[in-house]
């Protein structure tokens, strides 16, 4: 079945460091790809998305490029802030018979320190 694999956390960085969170996927069809973020005690917020190969999703300084050849959708940010501390989830969605459930990775916790 479809699956998403994320790098294990927690990832601990100093403020202004470069961030990469790796995400690879396995899918039988042609998925749309997403990054969601979950701040402590809150629900999931859509961070960015990409719907076809070579698309780049971006938001709030975060970027991810849909790489079909490597089945990857790595999340990057050039300079992290303490306020970016959260859990980041990579997810995919494939349209099947009208439904489009999200399949999530296990999440990667990011801690940014001063």
Partner 1 sequence: DSGVTQTPKHLITATGQRVTLRCSPRSGDLSVYWYQQSLDQGLQFLIQYYNGEERAKGNILERFSAQQFPDLHSELNLSSLELGDSALYFCASSATGGGYEQYFGPGTRLTVT
The answer to whether 89 and 37 have CB atoms below 8 angstroms apart is yes
Are 33 and 73 a contacting pair, CB within 8 Å?
Answer: yes
Report if residue 40 touches partner 1, rule: CB under 8 A. Answer: no
Q: Kindly tell me which residue out of 36, 62, 73, 88 binds partner 1, with binding defined by CB under 8 A.
A: 36
Q: Which of 107, 108, 110, 112 binds partner 1 (CB under 8 A)?
A: 107
N-terminal to C-terminal alpha carbon distance within the chain: 41
Residue 22 engages partner 1 in binding (rule: CB under 8 A):
no
Place of tokens 């970027």: 63
Residues that bind partner 1 (CB under 8 A): 32, 34, 36, 42-46, 49, 89, 93, 95-107
């Amino acid at each position: 079945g479809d699956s998403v694999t994320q790098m294990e956390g927690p990832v601990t960085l100093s403020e202004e460091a470069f961030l990469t969170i790796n995400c690879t996927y396995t899918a039988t069809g042609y998925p749309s790809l997403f990054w969601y973020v979950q701040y402590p005690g809150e629900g999931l917020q859509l961070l960015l998305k990409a719907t076809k190969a070579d698309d780049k999703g971006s938001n709030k300084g975060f970027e991810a490029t849909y790489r079909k050849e490597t089945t990857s959708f790595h999340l990057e940010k050039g300079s992290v802030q303490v306020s970016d501390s959260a859990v980041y989830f990579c997810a995919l969605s494939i349209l099947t018979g009208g439904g489009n459930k999200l399949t999530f990775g296990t999440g990667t916790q990011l801690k940014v320190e001063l």
